[in-house]
Structure 1
Amino acid sequence: MFETIQGEASYTGTPSIFLRLQGCPVGCSWCDTKQTWDVDNVYKVSLDETVEKKADSDHWAQASAANILALFQSRGYTAKHVVITGGEPCMYDLNPVCNLLHENGFSTQIETSGTFEILAPAQTWVTVSPKINMRGGFEVLTTAMQRANEIKHPVAMQKHVEELEELFVKTGVNPKLVYLQPISQKESATKLAIKTCIAKNWRLSIQVHKYLGIS
């Protein structure tokens, strides 16, 4: 857990508490949080230790919704927007933690690959970053696409744009908010994303936090 500024898609610039959940079988080749993939008891630590880490690691902690809220309060976090990410957060039922956070004045957002059923309250903002043809072999669910408040799609080459368009046809979903996000801030990917966004009236997500050099 950490407090920072959301750097992607619709909530860019919003002070946010990031709650990163452990575990992900999807297997994206460009993943920048591969330390979250495995839930290994060897790396289990206390909840307090998850906010003290100085670098990426495989360490994780088990916590209830009440534990999470209590830690937010004890840390003195002032942000009121909570981004639940991973890993793949939708491996878990997120209703308990989202409902408790809503009851205590927070808004919530989930960032998911769309490959697991989304178990969350209706008022939770859902960002689906559809992971198509990844190593784990998981399909992007039509129900996840239908639930999405926004689509945020990483792109590096034209085939990634084509895969997204094919997914829209396959699922019958035509989202109002579509963001393209250049993978690794590469110049060629950024140019492709800008060109495509202009042509299709989509939006650009540039991972502002990475350009600023913050978490």
Structure 2
Amino acid sequence: MYKVNEVFETIQGEGSFTGAPAIFIRLQGCPVGCSWCDTKHTWEIKPELKQSLGDIVIKTAETEHWAAVTPADLLQLFVAKGYQAKHVVITGGEPCMFDLNPLCEALHNAGYSTQIETSGTFDIKAPAQTWVTVSPKVNMAGGYKVLQSALDRANEIKHPVAMQKHIDELLQLLQHTDTAAKLIYLQPISQQQRATELAIAMCKQHNWRLSVQVHKYIGIS
């Protein structure tokens, strides 16, 4: 059973799958405590806020409500909703609090590709063919460390930046990581001009890539 905060179909706005139609599964629960988090409603798992999956998918606002569902429940929902996307993004919250092998394997068997978006602070339990996006969260309030195993497993590392110290943190993280087969993205925090200018300059300097959260610029979920 997975604790699901919301399920919706949209366009992926970040990283290497930018522009691709995608079904997002947002899981409930995250102890990392990022100060700029834009999904703080997913942090706590409150038993009294448990609902049915049917109630979750018709939410019209961000809430802390969640549903306990199986992979089969989600696949049935995709059909019922008429979703056409074949790429599924599992996010949160912190999705790697859960063993994602059963969910990803069920999705693969049904013809979907999968992607996980994680802070890198929990062991990643997912099949080899799942695309893993690690957005490393360093020195956050929850006190969790970014795991070297998560950096090693990542297909792309997408680092949020606002100031030079965030670049320094990323360079420190990458010291012991083989990046030859990985994509490295910088993502300006909250679309700040200063952060964007810094990210562009550092992408040029280090031959990294820029992720600008396209969905926020065009006003979609």
What amino acid is the match of 1:112?
T
Aligned partners of 1:172 and 1:125: how far apart in 2?
A: 17
Q: What is the TM-score with the length of structure 2 in the denominator? A: 0.95
1:172 CA drift (Å): 3.5
Aligned twin of 1:174:
179
Do structure 1's residue 58 and structure 2's residue 59 form an aligned pair? Answer: no
- 2:125 pairs, out of 119, 129, 142, with 119
Aligned twin of 1:149:
155
Aligned twin of 2:3:
none
1:46 CA drift (Å): 0.5
Aligned partners of 1:145 and 1:104: how far apart in 2?
A: 28
Alignment check: 8 A CA contact 2:202 2:208 kept: yes
Do structure 1's residue 43 and structure 2's residue 56 form an aligned pair? Answer: no
Aligned partners of 2:64 and 2:217: how far apart in 1?
A: 25
Aligned twin of 1:12:
18
Aligned partners of 2:195 and 2:129: how far apart in 1?
A: 33
Superimposed CA distance per residue, residues 117-174 of structure 1 (whole angstroms, 9 cap, x where no aligned partner): 00000000000000011100001111100000000000000000000101112x4343
Aligned pairs for 1:27-42 (under 5 A) are 27-42=33-48
- 1:89 pairs, out of 76, 90, 95, with 95
Superimposed CA distance per residue, residues 4-42 of structure 1 (whole angstroms, 9 cap, x where no aligned partner): 000000000000000000000000000000000000011
Residues 135 and 173 of structure 1: CA distance in aligned 2, closer, same or farther (over 3 Å)? farther
Aligned partners of 1:130 and 1:213: how far apart in 2?
A: 25
Aligned partners of 1:141 and 1:50: how far apart in 2?
A: 32
Aligned partners of 1:54 and 1:39: how far apart in 2?
A: 20
Aligned twin of 2:170:
164
What amino acid is the match of 2:179?
N
Do structure 1's residue 130 and structure 2's residue 136 form an aligned pair? Answer: yes
Q: What is the TM-score with the length of structure 1 in the denominator? A: 0.98
Aligned partners of 1:154 and 1:172: how far apart in 2?
A: 18
Aligned partners of 1:79 and 1:52: how far apart in 2?
A: 19
- 2:209 pairs, out of 193, 203, 210, with 203
Percent identity of equivalent pairs: 66
Aligned partners of 1:51 and 1:4: how far apart in 2?
A: 14
Aligned partners of 1:138 and 1:124: how far apart in 2?
A: 24
Superimposed CA distance per residue, residues 97-127 of structure 1 (whole angstroms, 9 cap, x where no aligned partner): 1001000110000000000000000000000
- Unaligned residue ranges in structure 1 (runs of 5+): none
Two-structure CA RMSD over aligned residues (Å): 0.8
Aligned twin of 1:194:
200
**Other structure's SS at 1:62 match:** strand
Moved more, 127-136 or 64-73: 64-73
**Other structure's SS at 1:98 match:** helix
Do structure 1's residue 79 and structure 2's residue 79 form an aligned pair? Answer: no
- Unaligned residue ranges in structure 2 (runs of 5+): 1-6
Moved over 4 A (4+): none
Superimposed CA distance per residue, residues 63-117 of structure 1 (whole angstroms, 9 cap, x where no aligned partner): 0111111111111100000000000000000011100100011000000000000
